[in-house]
Structure 1
Amino acid sequence: MTAVNNNTLQTISGTIVLAGAGKMGGAMLTGWLSQGLDPSRVVVIDPAPSDEIRALGAKGVRLNPTDAADADTLVVAVKPQMFRDVAPALKRWVSPATLVVSIMAGTTIGALQELCGGAVVRAMPNTPAAIGRGITVAVPASDVSATQRATADALLRATGAVEWVGEESLMDAVTAVSGSGPAYLFLLAEELARAGVAAGLPEALATKLARDTVSGAGELLHRSDLSAATLRQNVTSPGGTTAAALSVLMGADGFAPLLERAVAAATARSKELAK
């Protein structure tokens, strides 16, 4: 299910409350402001805001106000393990007409409706959101209006691409693939550098080669219309060095079954977080 974004950040009305301004919440806030959202319409709730978030107060962002009023939109970016403890304080901002957008892993629409109320959109972004290259998958509750969905889309799109799905059951696998996925790529760069050192390269050079290779290949994949499989085949000469390496990585005990087990483990953990 795809989304047609009829809203821009400038056309969204009312107060937006951001609960949790850590790495992901802070990245979203930065994206909103850089794309023209009026800072005076943003309320940030965070018990230990960073210096960068505190500095936004000078631009008009309201930080930890003592009074609460019905918000048009509440974006919940706290750690999922903390949600049940902070939910009563967040509920003070929510009316039945409030759009509640959650980016908490494993936290279901049902839990959000029970503890916060409002019209709920559950979303899962990933860490490239910090540089505007994130990918977010979102699913709306049945009572989310078209206007509210467009508002959620505009807020989430400030940090990258957005995909919408119709089945909440997909979100655990989404979390395992794209939510946790950047860590898999960072591990690849880490271990590729380590393997380079084992093959005789100086550590600094191996690290640079691994980082630039992973990031450059990722950018090529981003810009190319070709599939990942085709790009892999294009760089693999029969009987060459790449083919020799891929014979190991694509073997019965290689990369494919290992990654499948990793994604399955992350999916299972996402389901556990919902309990």
Structure 2
Amino acid sequence: MRVGFIGTGSMGSMLIETFIRSGAVNPENVVATNRTIAKAELLAANYPGLQVARSNKEAASQADLLFICVKPLEFKDVIEEIQALLTPEQIIVSITSPVLIRHLEALLPCKIAKVIPSITNHVLSGATLCIYGDRMKAEDQKRLENLLSRVSAPIRISEEHTRISSDLSSCGPAFLAFFIQKYIQAAVSATGISEEEATRLASEMTLGTGKLLTDGGFTPAALQQRVAVPGGITEEGLRIMEKELCSVFYDLIRTTHAKYEEDLEKVEARFFGTKADEERDAFTSFPYEPPCP
């Protein structure tokens, strides 16, 4: 299977590198292109055998499985450029969440999937969200998930939950890293512990917590209960966090959904020159009632 990439920015290059490093794909079976060809050439220099395509058309014509890794408002131009070259047997994979399956199926003859990767895939961990169009047969889905499983845990989701699922799996590492960063800064400022030592302790704690929540069989609630002795220090810390942070997470979700709604509307107009208010609301609405004390 020949795997192609249009776009070798942050996520495109991460996918190429992790697929090759994991042994999921040999460099000789990868063809990549980018608007700035030098970026694709750098990947080829690091992974001998990887072929650099000089245009989107060249990449599309040579790939059995084609990942399109471009920004939402650039997607329509790429599609229009390559659509005449594509065949029903090819699989097109979008990693751009506001571009809907129906947008692509309306314009392309091939099989359509949407995959939302995470920066955690860089260390062969975390989830990859998978959404499939009607043309993707069971064997096509298995083929794609076999590839993704070498670098992540493929998880099938419904397209209506793209945003919140992405918040948790793809945006989540940045949100969690922000929390850890602020925790470290407070520790350094309040106690004089070195930033290096605090960072190491917090990082090891994060790694161990992740393993407890995956391999260890704990739920978040059960883990808190196990650590927090009644009347103890952890319980007191959790009390202040519940009081001060609860509404922040609802504001966070409301903000990410509002941005997604804005992007979805722009993509809809870019593809069809219209807005789809009812469908947009179905994808982005959620109750905003934080159960905070």
Please classify the TM superposition score into its range, dividing by the shorter chain length: 0.7 to 0.9
* Structure 2 counterpart of 1:40: 28
* Structure 2 counterpart of 1:262: 252
* Structure 2 counterpart of 1:4: none
Query: Structure 2 unaligned runs (5+)?
Result: 266-293
1:27 match: secondary structure: helix
Mapping 1:58-77, distance limit 5 Å: 58=48, 60-65=49-54, 68=58, 69=61, 71-77=63-69
* Structure 2 counterpart of 1:273: 263
CA distance in 2, matches of 1:274, 1:130: 27
CA distance in 1, matches of 2:41, 2:105: 33
The alignment's TM-score, normalised by the length of structure 2, stands at 0.79
Is residue 249 from structure 1 mapped to residue 241 from structure 2 by the alignment? yes
Aligned residues: 258
* Structure 2 counterpart of 1:10: none
Name the structure, 1 or 2, with higher relative contact order (CA <8 Å, separation 6+).
1
* Structure 2 counterpart of 1:177: 168
Identity among equivalent positions (%) equals 24
CA contact (8 A) 2:113 2:136 kept: yes
CA contact (8 A) 2:24 2:150 kept: no
Q: CA deviation at 1:116?
A: 4.6
The alignment's TM-score, normalised by the length of structure 1, stands at 0.84
* Structure 1 counterpart of 2:279: none
Q: 1:145 aligns with which of 137, 143, 166?
A: 137
Query: Structure 1 unaligned runs (5+)?
Result: 1-12
Q: CA deviation at 1:185?
A: 0.8
* Structure 1 counterpart of 2:285: none
CA distance in 1, matches of 2:68, 2:45: 21
Q: CA deviation at 1:93?
A: 4.7
Aligned-partner residue type, residue 115 of structure 2:
A
Higher helix share: 2
> Cα RMSD between the aligned structures?
2.3
* Structure 2 counterpart of 1:155: 147
1:215-255 CA-partner distances (Å, limit 9, x unpaired): 3322332331121211111111111111111111112xx33
Is residue 81 from structure 1 mapped to residue 81 from structure 2 by the alignment? no
1:131-163 CA-partner distances (Å, limit 9, x unpaired): 100201111111111221112212322321011
CA contact (8 A) 1:74 1:101 kept: yes
